[in-house]
Structures are given as C-alpha cells and as structure tokens.
Amino acid sequence: MHVVLAQHFAHPEKLQQAQEGVLKFGLALRSFSGFIGRHTVIDSEDPTRILSITLWRNKTCYEAWQNSPTRIGFTERHNHMWSRATERSTYDSIDEL
C-alpha cells in the first residue's frame, strides 16, 4: 500500500471554502482506480492547516491520479484558496505481523 500525507495551507479568509473544497476533492478520489481511502484532519491550533492522508493500492495508482486531468483541473480551479503550495510526503507501508 502507498500512503500520501498532503498538508494544505488555506488563506484565513477562505477557510470555510477551503475545507469544503478539500471534501469535494475527496469525492473525486473515490472513483479513481487504486484509491483505497482518505482521512482529513484540521490542526486544532491553526485551522488553516488541513492534513489529508490518502491510501493507494500502490505508487503507480497514486502517480496516475497525480497526472490525471481530473486532479489537475480541480487543483487549477481551486488554487486561489491556498496561501502556499501543498506539501506532500509519500510512504510505502510494510506488512504488519
């Protein structure tokens, strides 16, 4: 399994719009091949920081999503909500005993 942590940074005056946008983005993920699930959390001390953790079947599925017209178009249309670029970290899970 491939895991992606995406840290989003909303403009304070667009906080509600950014939170709603992240949820809509999640709906698009659900129909993409190889997507397993997602959990999104909001920083309790700084609500402009939104962290999404997504699970993918493998890195290839995640990269296909990253390069998809759906993701690129959504990102371009909602770029105005963010104070800076999304920071992403990717991980490969290990099998637990």
CB atoms within 10 A of CB 21: 20
Asked whether residue 4 carries a pLDDT value surpassing 90, the answer given is: yes
pLDDT for res 40: 95
Q: What is the pLDDT of residues 25-59, one digit of tens each?
A: 888 899 899 999 999 999 999 999 999 999 999 99
Asked whether residue 96 carries a pLDDT value surpassing 80, the answer given is: no
Rounded Cα distance between 31 and 71, Å, is 12
Asked whether residue 97 carries a pLDDT value surpassing 70, the answer given is: no
Instruction: Provide the phi-psi class of 52: left if phi over 0, else alpha when psi is between -120 and 50, else beta.
Output: beta
Q: What is the CATH number of domain 2-92?
A: 3.30.70.100
Q: What's the predicted TM-score (pTM) here?
A: 0.86
